[in-house]
Structure 1
């Protein structure tokens, strides 16, 4: 869901460190250095990286720059190949049956555990190569002057991937703006012991 939609799930962050002034001018180049790499012609299971906010197929920012007024905007693109379990089971059974027939010709009535594992890996790779990766994109808005970063998802796995990749790209670490951290942001670090001792109130 786009961050421009009428409603969406949004995760808000602040950056823990002081942002070096020279880093702001390096952001477009760092995005390109860590851009999404297409896996359509491979058998890779997953690929992720940054891409253009205006066009998820533009990994070089030729359509438009990431700078929008005081914001930097871009997308996290995640492509994943998923093989339905029933499809994998079918083709694995076919491959194991062929292997067993071959072994019987050699006087063996079984397929070893290591060989089964090897066949499963081969079948999985073959099926991946025949399937198209499913793309997903997540909008990112970064306002350096307000020290706020917005990600248009609340999915825990995507958030963890985004936080790690943001740190890898910019050498900056994100802190989710949960109510607790937002309260500390307003009241200061010295308020942490008081906030930690608060208990929820039930209005039922």
Structure 2
């Protein structure tokens, strides 16, 4: 089944470049384009896309304003922010406004495919370059909050330890070496963590760990 994409960006060259990249990814097709956020709601109604690739900075209506209007209208289609901005507050606003992912415009074609694959599978995606920024910003906002009880999620002490390392960007091999475990053991723990939390992507684990105060600024 083909995943339908809508491109919303005020730069024609950017739209053309993304369309060209998408044409090389099996299972995806661009069904429409818009050059301003003011057109988003109508374009979504017209084309019924599975994923919207949305720029933030546009002429009359910003991507964030358009996204807010989209969610206010009750539309729950998947939105991937495609932006050059790395400002922590802006990224957090995008995620809090209902974006499912945030991809930097200097991303490679491979990363674009990874992002689309994640989102079309119901997961979330953050460019690796901003993952730590998102964690730190969320922690700064939440550091004075009451620590959440995490035992209700049925995670063992070892799994919590591995979860903290995962959201800090450590690879399975690095985690295994640091904890003196086999790679297979770490993979098993990782799988169990995702199943118990019903979260199956790293971006989702990051947001969960921040929200539940599982990681701290000292981690």
Q: Which band: TM-score by shorter chain?
A: under 0.3
Question: Which structure exhibits the higher relative contact order, with contacts defined as CA atoms closer than 8 Å and separated by 6 or more residues?
Answer: 1
Q: Is the radius of gyration larger for structure 1 or structure 2?
A: 1
TM-score, length of structure 2 as denominator length: 0.25
